[in-house]
Amino acid sequence: MRKGIVCTLVMWGLMNSCFGQFNIKSEWITVETYPVSGGAEQMKLKGEDALAFDIPTFIQEHGHLERLVIRGTFRTALQTTDISFDSANTDQEGDFICKEVHSELTPFLGVWGSGSKDHDGVDIKEVIANTAADKAGITAEENITEYNGVSINNFPELKQAVLASEIGDRVELKLETLSTPYSQYVTVGSRGVQTVTYKYCVEEQAAILSETDLNVVAYTFKAYPNPTSHQSNVVFKSGSDEAVEFSVTTLSGKQLHSEVFANFSGELSLNYTFDNVSDGLYLFSIQQGKEVYKRKVQFIR
């Protein structure tokens, strides 16, 4: 009789035996069982059923089968995890179920979109929080027409261009917002791709939490009301205590205001009043260390 099981915390998320994660886009598990008596049965789990499926326990309870195959994918905005187990390819000598985890990062901009109506660019439908696009102040309903000098006609072309970049590259985007074209530089971010293979092992596996998880700094950057006819309230929160610089520029880069807050202690609240400027879009920026966060605010008299 095989002994108890163990769950692990794996890179890029707090992933228990149910692979519970936030912001999940899709999740599924397929289980194929082959009894000794012959024949085969298949079970497919989706959504909450897939999340609640305890893979290690199921493997141990069905070790008597001729063959057991488990495959699945859990996908979030910032990570894809593929899982697998095949008893035909696994040495069943061992008292515990453990995991072999292979992880890598791929370049990621942080937007989802579709081809524009005139087939010239990408209509942004969603900007993922805390990604390169979000930090650069890009918003939904804008249109990306060029990526680092390459014309973009649809979302697959944008995705391919991003994947051809290197994580950390500083690239120039050409965008349109409210029919106004402008350029924006973005530092390419990353998205996790992880392969988890279950197997039998002779020792209990210890919990793993990578430095990547420990070093993630959450932030909040709000500017409201938006649009505004006079004044905008700015709120910035961060896990870092480094000095903060707040600035306001036009989309073309002309600076209208700059202010440094040296004694930042986690939260900044201020009011910015639009004086002697014309109606249009303006860029609010927060710089803290090497990180720059941006929000567009529309001023209408």
**What pLDDT does 5 receive?**
31
100 and 32 inside one domain: yes
**What pLDDT does 115 receive?**
61
Integer Cα distance of 294 and 173 in angstroms: 15
101 and 202 inside one domain: yes
Q: Is the CB of residue 15 less than 8 Å from the CB of residue 21? A: yes
Integer Cα distance of 108 and 146 in angstroms: 16
Range of the domain at 150: 110-187
Q: Residue 8 domain-assigned?
A: no
Q: Residue 35 domain-assigned?
A: yes
Q: Residue 5 domain-assigned?
A: no
Integer Cα distance of 70 and 85 in angstroms: 5
Strands 79-86 and 189-201: parallel
178 and 223 inside one domain: no
Q: Residue 15 domain-assigned?
A: no
Q: Residue 69 domain-assigned?
A: yes
199 and 102 inside one domain: yes
Sheet of 280-288, strand order: 255-261, 244-250, 280-288, 291-299
In this structure, the dihedral spanned by the alpha carbons of residues 293, 105, 91 and 44, taken in order and rounded to 10 degrees, is 70
Which residues, 6+ apart, have CB-to-CB distance to 118 below 8 Å?
none
Put simply, whether the predicted model's pTM sits higher than 0.85 gets the answer no
**b/e for 31-56, b at 16 or more Cβ within 10 A?**
bbbbeeeeeeeeeebeeeebbebebb
199 and 182 inside one domain: no
Q: Is the CB of residue 149 less than 8 Å from the CB of residue 166? A: no
Number of domains in the chain: 3
Give the length of the chain: 301
93 and 195 inside one domain: yes
Nearest CA to 48 out of 76, 81, 26, 73 is that of 26
- pLDDT tens string, the chain, 301 residues long: the values are 333 333 333 333 333 333 333 345 789 999 999 998 888 899 999 998 998 899 999 998 898 899 999 999 999 888 899 999 999 988 877 778 888 998 899 999 999 887 654 557 899 999 998 899 999 999 988 999 999 999 998 999 999 999 999 999 999 999 998 778 999 999 999 999 999 999 988 776 655 444 444 444 567 889 999 899 999 999 999 888 899 999 999 988 899 999 999 999 989 999 999 998 999 999 999 999 888 898 999 999 8
Paired tokens of 189: 């971010």
CATH code, domain with 172: 2.30.42.10
Nearest CA to 287 out of 257, 237, 247, 256 is that of 247
98 and 205 inside one domain: yes
Q: Is the CB of residue 99 less than 8 Å from the CB of residue 5? A: no
